[in-house]
Each structure stands twice: as C-alpha cells, then as structure tokens.
A and B are shown apart, each in its own frame.
Chain A
Amino acid sequence: EAQVTQNPRYLITVTGKKLTVTCSQNMNHEYMSWYRQDPGLGLRQIYYSMNVEVTDKGDVPEGYKVSRKEKRNFPLILESPSPNQTSLYFCASSAVLTGGTEAFFGQGTRLTVV
C-alpha cells in the first residue's frame, strides 16, 4: 500500500530537548516536505526536498533542520524545541513530474513542547 509514515504520532517534550520526527514514503517519490498546521493558519511549509541531498527552506524554517540522505526518508529535527513549536506536523511526498502531481500526506505528529 502506498503510504507516508510518520513517527511518533504524539510527542510531549520539554524545552530544549532535541527531538527527531521521522518520515518515510514507499512510493519512490522525489519530492518530500514538512508542514506545520496551526489553527486559523492552515498548513505552512517548513522545509522541502527535491531529491536526495537537496533541501531548501519553506515559509517557516526557523528552529528546524532536515536531512535527505535516502530517497525514502526525510526526518525533521528540532535541535532545541520551544513552546512556540507546539503544533501538528505533517510530512508529504509527491512525484516531481509536471505541476498537478498531488501530495500524499502522513497521518500527522502532534507535538507539545512544555
């Protein structure tokens, strides 16, 4: 089954404690991205990757890091989480063909930073 898998689904952590949210896709997609969803703001892109070893900042990259060492994996790293990073996070992947290629989303990771 084609899917994007995020882990963990729920995470509560303390300010400053480094964490990683994993994302894996089994569709051989080139394009992967991370979003955060906050009430009234929709989904905002954090980082994206066009292919292995190619990453770029989205609209809200501050406080986040990513890496793309393998095509299937695109982890999101919070080196020193802060309470304003409490949010619902989604990973997505899509085939980079022409425009009109839809994104497939993971189930989301609800992160709380206290």
Chain B
Amino acid sequence: AQSVTQLDSHVSVSEGTPVLLRCNYSSSYSPSLFWYVQHPNKGLQLLLKYTSAATLVKGINGFEAEFKKSETSFHLTKPSAHMSDAAEYFCVVGGGYQKVTFGTGTKLQVIP
C-alpha cells in the first residue's frame, strides 16, 4: 500500500521569498516520487521526479526537492518565489508499473 500526504492545503508567500511545499509519503517498496504543477484551467506539468538516483532533485523553473528516506519526505522548495509560480502543486508516488497515488494538492499564492 502507498499514500501521500501534502501537509498544507494552502501556502501563501511574498514574491522573492522562499517557497516550501511539504509532502510525506508511505510506500512498502522503494518509491518513485514526483511533483506536478497545475496552473488555473490547465493540465498537469511535471516539475521534477525522484527515481532512486540523487536524493536532491532539480526540476524546472528553479524548483528542487530532497528525498529523505528517514523522514519519508519529499518537500518541494524554491529559493525565490515568482508571481508565475502561483498554481496548485501535487506530490505523487508511483509510476511505470507502480500504482500512482496523488496527494490532495497545495495551492500556492504569491503576494506581490
């Protein structure tokens, strides 16, 4: 069995300040983990993925995430928020042959 918990349904940051979106997972095997972004009225776009190589994963648009097995976490970070980052973000476990499970999403608001 596997599950994903996104710890915040809404996060609000000021433009230019750091972003932290938290994700915890549980999986009975070595997980594949992803972050997707969904802009309003758009589909889902892959930000980054972890597949048991480097634990610090760099994605598009300056985002990165660190896989911490001891904490079962895969938090998404960005050093400096931009207005265009305002969107909903989904943490996902699974992929390929594995069942895919989505978190419930975190809406990021960026304040000018």
Q: Give me the interface of A with B, judged by CB distance under 8 Å.
A: 31, 33, 35, 40-45, 50, 90, 94-108
Q: Interface segment, B14-22, B46-54, B74-82?
A: B46-54
Choose among A42, A96, A108 the residue that contacts B104 (Cβ–Cβ < 8 A): A42
Given contacts A40-B9, A42-B103, A44-B102, contact A103 B43 (CB under 8 A): no
Q: How far apart are the CA atoms of A71 and B90 in the complex, in Å?
A: 27
Q: How far apart are the CA atoms of A99 and B94 in the complex, in Å?
A: 7
Q: How far apart are the CA atoms of A42 and B32 in the complex, in Å?
A: 18
For A50, the chain B residues whose CB sits under 8 A away are 97
Choose among B9, B49, B102, B103 the residue that contacts A102 (Cβ–Cβ < 8 A): B49
For A103, the chain B residues whose CB sits under 8 A away are 46, 95, 100
Q: Give me the interface of B with A, judged by CB distance under 8 Å.
A: 9, 30-32, 34, 36, 42-46, 49-52, 90, 94-100, 102-105
7 smallest A-B Cβ distances: which pairs? A100-B51, A42-B104, A99-B32, A100-B32, A101-B96, A43-B102, A105-B44
The reply to whether B43 and A99 contact each other, CB–CB distance below 8 Å, is no
| Extra 8 A-B pairs, beta carbons < 8 Å, given A98-B97, A103-B46, A107-B43 | A41-B104, A43-B90, A94-B95, A99-B31, A99-B97, A102-B46, A103-B100, A106-B43
Closest to B4 in A: A42
For A107, the chain B residues whose CB sits under 8 A away are 42-43
Given contacts A42-B103, A90-B44, contact A96 B97 (CB under 8 A): yes
For B102, the chain A residues whose CB sits under 8 A away are 35, 42-44
For A33, the chain B residues whose CB sits under 8 A away are 100
Q: How far apart are the CA atoms of A95 and B95 in the complex, in Å?
A: 9
Closest to B97 in A: A96
Report B3 CB to chain A, min CB distance, Å.
Answer: 11
Report B102 CB to chain A, min CB distance, Å.
Answer: 4
Q: How far apart are the CA atoms of A33 and B94 in the complex, in Å?
A: 13
